[in-house]
Chains A and B, each alone.
Chain A
Amino acid sequence: MAAPQETTSRSRRTVELVVLAVLFVAFAGASAAGKRPANAPDDWWVTRLGVVIAAGLTLIMYSFLYRDNPLFKMAENLFVGVALGYGVILTWRQSLKPEIIDPLFIDPPHLHAFWMELARRSAPIVLGALLLTRISRRAGWLSRYSYTLMVGWGAGLSIPITIHTYVLQQLKPSLGLVSKVLGDAPAGQQASFWSTALPVLGDLIILAGIVSVLFYFFFSVEHKGAGSFVSQLGIWFLMVSFGASFGNTVMGRVSLLIGRMRFLLHDWLGLGP
């Protein structure tokens, strides 16, 4: 996060500039230190240049830790642009060209085949083109013909599929919760007492969790009396699970940091094992 003291005096600015200059020199020196390995390919320097630039950008991104600054903004916007360009080219290479150009104008060996392809593909191509009208303000309504088709398809499809995947598939194991443990525990398992009791306990916890959380998100009745207890239980369950998510999020971010650190120390500076 940006440091609180946005009010930066001139003297402070100069100090920062000096520091920046020093850092840059250090960076250049460190980059130059990278020595050329024996029997490297002759385009070695291209890669090296790339690594140096990447390292520079990485450091610039980290400069945000000190404060939001022009360099950071530049880098951020630059990569947004590159990503955008990458998307454009890939959409052309992997979608539009192979779906429209090749099958119509490259592949067909004879005219008849071309006509057949055209017949098969004209509808989606036209609809796709209609999508593009969304850009314009006046003809924009044309794009609705395509959008409604896509959205309608998605919506209609999603209803049974959601029921299947998120309701039925999730409900079935929840029903078998305790009985699964008690019922046909394969002979040889039901010997010790705890080997039954503990899973049962766990299943009961799951049961309580599902029901109480569902009830917490149940808005049609006031949460009074027993209800208030159940929803309270729900909150507690929610919190525990959020805790799990929290821990994992921290873990993920740290992993990213580790990765970048490895990049800086190994690939750029060539330090460490």
Chain B
Amino acid sequence: MSSPPSQAALRRLAVTRRIIYLLVAIAVAVPTLSDLACDFKPSPWAEKVFKKVESLKPGSPILLSFDFDPAAMEELHPMGLALLRHCFKNDLHPILMTHWPSGVGISKQIIEKAAKERGKVSGKDYVFLGFKPGDYNLILNMGESLQGAFDKDFYKQPTQGMPALEGVRSLKDIPLVIDLAAGTAIEMWIAYGRDRFGFDLGAGCTAVITPDLYPFLSSGQLIGVLGGLRGAADYETLLKRPDRATKGMQAQSSTHVLIILLILGANVHYLSRRMGAYAKG
């Protein structure tokens, strides 16, 4: 271990740090301002989700659970928007809910934006159930009776006999559920929802938790996953409707390259120093 550095050294470090901050800012800002198009092949897991949604017949219900808050918005907002656009494009009946009180606002924004684009009507073409506490208890409850768990939707309309919920009495009647989550909600949906009531479960999540989902992908408990902003961009590409996420990919590339260069440079220097130390003995 090296002996602790002097104040001067620390000051130098502080300066280098600010230079790096500047570099990052540039690496993000420049591509954001420029409008370079970038093409890429959607990842297979995203394609699986898309195909699944595509395979649903018009008018069939699809449950979307937006279990995230503004902290994860920048990643999951585009994803949710793309998903809902897809649902409305194929005239599915999305049923939107959230387990997070702080997620209600975003969910509302997203679904109302998507619905406005296609002139879809709440209660007729889609349902926004809003938020209820209870986490896995809520899921189990919906598994017994959806109208029992949410007797009114977010706009205070009774869900009993709502046209958009035609033939949906519980989770058992829903072919596909997609959970957009920033936390452990996906595992909750797998354990308490998918494994008991047998619907297909797709996931969209922040990049941070994407790697944790692969066991479920390989065991078939998840049909597919959209990982982070890239996942959203993949979906937009599949939907042929590029938007925020796709535009973000350039900045993503440049910043990643910058960080990679930083890591490599620093380590090369570090290793060479260590080699030198060995050489001296």
Q: Do chains A and B touch in the complex (CB under 8 A)?
A: yes
Find out whether the CB atom of B132 lies under 8 angstroms from the CB atom of A261: no
Find out whether the CB atom of B218 lies under 8 angstroms from the CB atom of A258: no
Contacts of A227 in B (CB 8 A): none
Interface size class of A (residues with CB under 8 A): 35 or more
**Known pairs A91-B101, A161-B192; A169 contacts B221 (CB<8 A):** yes
Find out whether the CB atom of B248 lies under 8 angstroms from the CB atom of A255: yes
Smallest CB-CB separation from B140: which chain A residue?
A157
Q: In the complex, which of the residues B35, B101, B102, B210 contacts A272, with contact meaning CB atoms closer than 8 Å? A: B35
Q: In the complex, which of the residues A5, A161, A244, A258 contacts B251, with contact meaning CB atoms closer than 8 Å? A: A258
B195 at the interface (CB under 8 A from A): yes
Find out whether the CB atom of A258 lies under 8 angstroms from the CB atom of B210: no
Mask: chain B, 1-44; 1 = CB below 8 Å from A; 0 = not = 00000010011011001000100100011001111000000000
The CA of A172 and the CA of B218, in the complex, are separated in Å by: 11
A86 at the interface (CB under 8 A from B): yes
**Known pairs A241-B211, A244-B211, A262-B32; A165 contacts B191 (CB<8 A):** yes
The CA of A102 and the CA of B244, in the complex, are separated in Å by: 41
Find out whether the CB atom of B218 lies under 8 angstroms from the CB atom of A4: no
The CA of A263 and the CA of B258, in the complex, are separated in Å by: 22
Find out whether the CB atom of B219 lies under 8 angstroms from the CB atom of A261: no
Contacts of A157 in B (CB 8 A): 136
A260 at the interface (CB under 8 A from B): yes
Find out whether the CB atom of B191 lies under 8 angstroms from the CB atom of A94: no
Find out whether the CB atom of B10 lies under 8 angstroms from the CB atom of A4: yes
Mask: chain A, 1-33; 1 = CB below 8 Å from B; 0 = not = 101110000000000000000000000000000
B165 at the interface (CB under 8 A from A): no
Mask: chain A, 225-256; 1 = CB below 8 Å from B; 0 = not = 00000000000000001001100111110111
Smallest CB-CB separation from A169: which chain B residue?
B219
The CA of A174 and the CA of B221, in the complex, are separated in Å by: 14
Find out whether the CB atom of A255 lies under 8 angstroms from the CB atom of B74: yes
Smallest CB-CB separation from B191: which chain A residue?
A165
How near does chain A come to B223, taking the closest CB pair, in angstroms? 14
Mask: chain B, 144-157; 1 = CB below 8 Å from A; 0 = not = 00000001101000
Find out whether the CB atom of A252 lies under 8 angstroms from the CB atom of B228: yes
Find out whether the CB atom of B131 lies under 8 angstroms from the CB atom of A261: no
**Known pairs A65-B21, A94-B131, A255-B248; A248 contacts B211 (CB<8 A):** yes
Interface centre among B10, B34, B206 (most CB of A within 10 A): B206
Mask: chain B, 181-207; 1 = CB below 8 Å from A; 0 = not = 000000100111001000000000011
Contacts of B10 in A (CB 8 A): 4-5
Find out whether the CB atom of B219 lies under 8 angstroms from the CB atom of A254: no
How near does chain B come to A235, taking the closest CB pair, in angstroms? 17
The CA of A254 and the CA of B77, in the complex, are separated in Å by: 15
Find out whether the CB atom of A94 lies under 8 angstroms from the CB atom of B130: yes
Contacts of A250 in B (CB 8 A): 256, 259
Find out whether the CB atom of B255 lies under 8 angstroms from the CB atom of A254: yes
Interface size class of B (residues with CB under 8 A): 35 or more
**Known pairs A169-B195, A248-B208, A252-B75; A258 contacts B252 (CB<8 A):** yes
B281 at the interface (CB under 8 A from A): no
The CA of A265 and the CA of B32, in the complex, are separated in Å by: 8
Q: In the complex, which of the residues B105, B190, B208, B248 contacts A258, with contact meaning CB atoms closer than 8 Å? A: B248
Contacts of B276 in A (CB 8 A): none
Q: In the complex, which of the residues B74, B208, B218 contacts A259, with contact meaning CB atoms closer than 8 Å? A: B74
Q: In the complex, which of the residues B151, B215, B252 contacts A255, with contact meaning CB atoms closer than 8 Å? A: B252
Q: In the complex, which of the residues B7, B132, B244 contacts A94, with contact meaning CB atoms closer than 8 Å? A: B132
Contacts of B265 in A (CB 8 A): none
Find out whether the CB atom of A251 lies under 8 angstroms from the CB atom of B228: yes
B229 at the interface (CB under 8 A from A): yes
A183 at the interface (CB under 8 A from B): no
Mask: chain B, 75-104; 1 = CB below 8 Å from A; 0 = not = 101000000000000000000000001101
Q: In the complex, which of the residues B151, B191, B212 contacts A161, with contact meaning CB atoms closer than 8 Å? A: B191
The CA of A62 and the CA of B272, in the complex, are separated in Å by: 35
A77 at the interface (CB under 8 A from B): no
The CA of A241 and the CA of B152, in the complex, are separated in Å by: 44
How near does chain A come to B158, taking the closest CB pair, in angstroms? 9
The CA of A181 and the CA of B134, in the complex, are separated in Å by: 42
Q: In the complex, which of the residues B75, B208, B218, B255 contacts A173, with contact meaning CB atoms closer than 8 Å? A: B218
Contacts of B154 in A (CB 8 A): 94
21 contacts between A and B (CB under 8 A): A4-B7, A94-B101, A95-B131, A95-B132, A98-B152, A164-B191, A166-B191, A173-B219, A248-B210, A248-B211, A251-B252, A252-B208, A254-B255, A255-B74, A255-B75, A255-B252, A258-B229, A261-B32, A261-B251, A272-B32, A273-B33
4 closest A-B pairs (Cβ-Cβ)?
A259-B74, A252-B207, A273-B35, A255-B229
* A residues with CB within 8 A of B: 1, 3-5, 65, 83, 86-87, 90-91, 94-95, 98, 102-103, 154, 157, 161-162, 164-166, 169-170, 172-173, 241, 244-245, 248-252, 254-262, 265, 271-273
**Other A-B pairs beyond A102-B152, A261-B251, 4, CB < 8 Å:** A5-B11, A94-B101, A94-B104, A166-B191
